[in-house]
């Protein structure tokens, strides 16, 4: 039995444990990483490499920056203001949250956008007396959808463009060219969540939120500290958004901005050191860190490529470009539920270019489908950092993502198969 097959078997076991939750999600993820080392899929020294990943540091820093807004009462204050404008209706709040998130995500890091807006949305939910579980998943989904709109919105978009360049194709994607599919996809996703997805979201209130509210009520809500916590968040966002343009490229990273912001929150008294430590959602940290080595194992052993090759082989000798695009979309979307969207896109883009050339078709439609599908990690809490970020604060279970996210994946597929061939014809000029 090859390493690729053994890795696929391990992935199936991990997936079953995620779905059934027979053991905690974080333990499943870390056990999977350890198994990858024991079975020789990755070097033993890389088993816990996920804990050293810079995204984990970003998570921790933004959890603390976000918590500062709660402990000072600023998040609740903002929430009250938003509720006064939009009312307390779930649909109006969901629409506002998803539009703002998608817009920011189109030019900022999906992860950074979600992390920055998480405390604000929790404050809005508290003010509107709506369980956070009703709004946090739409927040994460909007971050994924909005990222498709520009080249820098999400890594798969950059990878697709790089694949065209590597294949010697001069007609690459423009910066805003992705908006042709990104905007319709975002609109369809928002409508789906407002009219269908919301009925599939859990309604349980969260003990963690209540504990935070109690602590806020017991503290003095000094307006000066509210201003400070808000200023810290704004500065962190600005540095994340335009750091490269103002000469900070290679000097201040997203992770550094988040951690510096967290330290300033503690030093300024916006929250205590103990509150900072307790605000970190360790389930999120270990879940993400555990899945990173598993993603690496899928790449190293060839398990991901095996899935792609097998799926392509069932299409027959001379499949139509539409069939190729559809199948690769489904494969990319399936893989990205359990491995990083970057890895999924990097794995499939070269395959998409090769198949397109064989058919004599333009690869742009195929690559766009792969890139978009790699951003459709809606049916799993481990497919993309925004989903993982809201797991703990939203009190979600694995199946909550499956229920609400699968339909969104289907909607994304339908929109993509209609729009992509219209904008990027398979045989341009004919």
pLDDT band at 241 (very low <50, low <70, confident <90, very high): low
Query: Are 280 and 60 in contact, with CB atoms under 8 Å apart?
Result: yes
Residue with tokens 């963690």: 208
* CA distance linking residue 269 with residue 264, whole number of Å: 8
The H-or-E segment that residue 356 falls in is helix 341-359
Average model confidence (pLDDT) for the chain?
Answer: 82
Is residue 137 one of the residues assigned to a domain? yes
Average pLDDT over residues 364-370: 91
* CA distance linking residue 390 with residue 28, whole number of Å: 18
**CA nearest to 66, candidates 280, 273, 243:** 280
* CA distance linking residue 117 with residue 109, whole number of Å: 12
Q: Give CA angle at 178 (175, 183), nearest 5°.
A: 125
Number of domains in the chain: 1
Is residue 429 one of the residues assigned to a domain? no
The more confidently predicted of residues 416 and 345 is 416
- The domain of 259 spans 52-154+178-282
Is residue 390 one of the residues assigned to a domain? no
Is residue 366 one of the residues assigned to a domain? no
Query: Are 28 and 288 in contact, with CB atoms under 8 Å apart?
Result: no
Say which residues have a Cβ less than 8 Å from residue 317's Cβ, sequence separation at least 6.
none
Average pLDDT over residues 379-404: 88
Structure confidence by residue, pLDDT tens digits, 17-29: 876 778 887 888 8
Query: Are 326 and 291 in contact, with CB atoms under 8 Å apart?
Result: no
Is residue 46 one of the residues assigned to a domain? no
375: Cα separation from own chain's centroid: 8
Is residue 387 one of the residues assigned to a domain? no
- Which among 216-225, 319-328, 416-425 has the top mean pLDDT? 416-425
The H-or-E segment that residue 78 falls in is helix 74-86
Residue with tokens 């203001």: 81
Query: Are 271 and 279 in contact, with CB atoms under 8 Å apart?
Result: yes
Is residue 209 one of the residues assigned to a domain? yes
Average pLDDT over residues 275-299: 81
* CA distance linking residue 342 with residue 338, whole number of Å: 12
Q: Which of 57-61, 246-250, 290-294, 424-428 shows the lowest per-residue confidence on average (mean pLDDT)? A: 246-250
Q: pTM of the prediction?
A: 0.71
Is residue 361 one of the residues assigned to a domain? no
DSSP 8-state secondary structure symbol assigned to residue 52? G
Query: Are 78 and 116 in contact, with CB atoms under 8 Å apart?
Result: no
Dihedral sign, CA of 305, 307, 311, 314?
A: positive
**CA nearest to 160, candidates 338, 334, 345:** 345
């Amino acid at each position: 039995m090859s390493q690729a097959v053994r890795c696929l078997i391990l992935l199936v076991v991990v997936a079953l444990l995620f779905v059934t939750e027979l053991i905690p999600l974080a333990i499943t993820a870390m056990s999977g990483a350890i198994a990858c080392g024991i079975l020789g899929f990755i070097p033993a020294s890389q088993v816990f490499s996920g804990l050293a990943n810079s995204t984990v540091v970003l998570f921790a820093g933004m959890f603390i920056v976000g918590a500062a807004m709660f402990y000072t009462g600023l998040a609740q204050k903002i929430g009250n203001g938003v509720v006064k404008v939009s009312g307390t209706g779930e649909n109006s709040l969901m629409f506002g949250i998803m539009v703002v998130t998608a817009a920011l995500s189109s030019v900022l890091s999906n992860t950074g956008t979600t992390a920055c807006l998480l405390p604000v949305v929790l404050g809005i939910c508290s003010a509107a007396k709506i369980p956070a579980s009703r709004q946090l998943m739409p927040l994460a989904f909007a971050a994924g959808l909005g990222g498709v709109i520009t080249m820098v919105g999400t890594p798969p978009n950059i990878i697709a463009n790089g694949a065209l360049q590597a294949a010697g194709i001069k007609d690459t994607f423009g910066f805003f060219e992705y908006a042709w599919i990104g905007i319709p996809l975002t609109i369809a996703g928002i409508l789906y969540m407002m009219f269908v997805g919301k009925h599939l979201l859990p309604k349980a209130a969260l003990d963690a939120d209540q504990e935070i509210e109690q602590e806020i009520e017991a503290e003095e809500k000094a307006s000066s500290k509210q201003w400070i916590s808000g200023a810290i968040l704004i500065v962190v966002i600005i540095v994340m958004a335009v750091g490269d343009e103002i000469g900070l490229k290679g000097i201040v990273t997203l992770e550094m901005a988040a951690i510096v912001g967290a330290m300033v929150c503690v030093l300024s008294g916006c929250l205590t050191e103990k509150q900072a430590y307790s605000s970190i959602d360790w389930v999120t940290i270990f879940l993400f860190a555990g899945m990173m080595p598993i993603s690496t194992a899928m790449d190293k052993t060839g398990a991901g490529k095996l899935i792609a090759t097998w799926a392509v082989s069932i299409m027959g000798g001379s499949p139509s470009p539409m069939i190729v695009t559809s199948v690769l979309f489904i494969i990319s979307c399936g893989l990205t539920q359990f491995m990083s969207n970057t890895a999924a896109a990097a794995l499939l883009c070269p395959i998409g270019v090769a198949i397109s050339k064989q058919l004599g078709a333009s690869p742009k439609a195929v690559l766009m489908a792969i890139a978009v599908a790699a951003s459709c990690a809606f049916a799993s809490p481990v497919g993309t950092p925004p989903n993982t970020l809201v797991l703990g604060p939203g009190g979600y279970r694995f199946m909550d993502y499956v229920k609400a996210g699968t339909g969104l994946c289907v909607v994304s597929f339908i929109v993509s198969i209609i729009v992509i061939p219209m904008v990027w014809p398979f045989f341009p000029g004919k």
